[in-house]
Structure 1
């Protein structure tokens, strides 16, 4: 075989190409030096002999390239990747559906504290109306006398007048969680009474430190005020 030629010998049967070891090594050597194979004859004969001799000493086996098998492997990898991608999408959709179903079930245990409202003073705001301190709840502006309902089942632990809160109700829900309802015009529960979620407990008013009819709704965990809107939305109640 001429050193400057790279012959591909097609075998019978499956599509295989057979490369002689010395021819392959010579071709790679030419490519490494940047010498065109057509110019291989200009290489020093001693160098060519050394390259061929080195290949013979290493007894390199012929390189066999199975085109059909390679195509099958490539197709198999693509098919497997597509299958994994479809399974990942299906799993993501299933998790989202499960989360929605779980949230719907949980939301049955909670309720909006009032209706016909608009959100006004928000949690964390500062105002001279409460001495420049941080607002510890969420105000629901609603018509005077609108029903106020228990946001979660629990036990009434306070029902009466409390300074700037005016007429106030506090419900203990267990787990160190309480909800407060302030500025009421009337209170329709008593201390020690157990109330169900959504049960009527009083009416919106403007008692205490209030400039208009609204419900001051407050949520406390371990005695610390937390954002009531976030608390409601976390259990599937959108306000």
Structure 2
């Protein structure tokens, strides 16, 4: 580092041709040396502070100042360019009078030069080199700091770029995952809707098949029942013909001792044949009080058919008859108001049932 000590000043006075002071100025001085005096590092020190340059004719002082500023700028720019490993930047030196503040400096230098015309001007290149020498290391350090700062800035920029790239990739992946999830959800919903539609169609088809099966079964059952009734009808016959139903089973009235009618009354002219409804055996045939003449026909299953109020009987007890055989004739014997066939049906246990329903159950149309 340069010292701040002021450079030794040479005494003012007259000098000989070699630059040494004369004896008249320094009476006690030693004899002058015969060799030329050369300034050294010890005798010349860089001067800190404001350095006034005497304005020379032809613009020497102004050119020196501009040169010093330009050298400083050039050294700084060169250091930064070197630190950044970039090519050196070409610097163009503008006119010093157009630089802000330089004109005033030159003006002060001009005033100082006019005020002290006898002051010895300093070499222009010496001031520039001094400024360059002093500012060079600092600029180099600044350039190094700038290089470190630039490298740190570059690292931060690269880090931010990597972070942004990673963030963009993460967002892209998230968007792709969302799109894939949405697509999968839509496909699943479509598959579920399809499965539900297929299930509904299958259920409807199964229901239709079940209904068809039930209809087929009902049709088959109806057919079977019709066949059974037809077979029964072939084996069963109506008890008489040319009749009119005048009283039904369970009908109430004072004419009957039980308070209600216990059979089916089929009004017909006297002498109309009374026929066996099915093959069986004559259990009894004769007079039976209020029933008049009565024939009881017992079927194979134990059912008894009572024929009452007959005018005559054509069979006797123990006789076997077939379906449709005449067993007597319609009359008005017993407790009656007119000729008719009173028909009763009793089960094997002895209880009476509705004769009309029983005949119809055998396939007969009454």
**What TM-score comes out, normalization by structure 1 length?**
0.70
SS in 1 for 2:277: coil
Per the TM alignment, residue 141 of structure 1 is displaced from its structure 2 partner at its CA by: 0.3
Listed one character per residue, the Cα deviations across residues 73-130 of structure 1 (whole Å, up to 9, x for unaligned) are 5544444443333233222222221122112112222111101001112212233333
Larger Rg: 2
Residues of 1 paired with 2:214 and 2:275: CA distance? 43
Q: 5+ unaligned residues in a row in structure 2: which ranges? A: 1-170
CA RMSD, 1 decimal: 3.2
Aligned with 2:362 (options 228, 231, 235):
235
In the alignment, what sits opposite 1:157? 283
Which one has the bigger strand percentage? 1
The correspondence for 2:351, drawn from 219, 224, 235, is 224
Contact 1:103–1:236 (CA<8 Å) still a contact in 2? Answer: yes
Q: Deviations over 1:48-83 (max 9, x none)?
A: xxxxxxxxxxxxxx9574379535555444444433
Question: Greater helix share, 1 or 2?
Answer: 2
Instruction: Tell me how far apart the structure 2 counterparts of residues 78 and 8 of structure 1 sit (CA, whole Å).
Output: 36
Question: How far has the Cα of 1:175 moved from its partner?
Answer: 2.9
Taking the aligned partners of 2:193 and 2:179, their CA distance within structure 1 comes to 16
What is the TM-score of this pair, normalised by structure 2? 0.47
1:172-202 residue CA offsets vs partner (Å, 9 max, x unmatched): 1133311110111111111111010111111
Instruction: For residue 230 of structure 2, give the secondary structure of its aligned residue in structure 1.
Output: helix
Q: Conserved in 2, the CA contact under 8 Å of 1:176 and 1:223?
A: no
Q: After superposition, where does 1:87-236 map in structure 2 within 5 Å?
A: 87-131=213-257, 133-221=259-347, 222-236=349-363
Distance 1:64 1:228, change over 3 A: closer
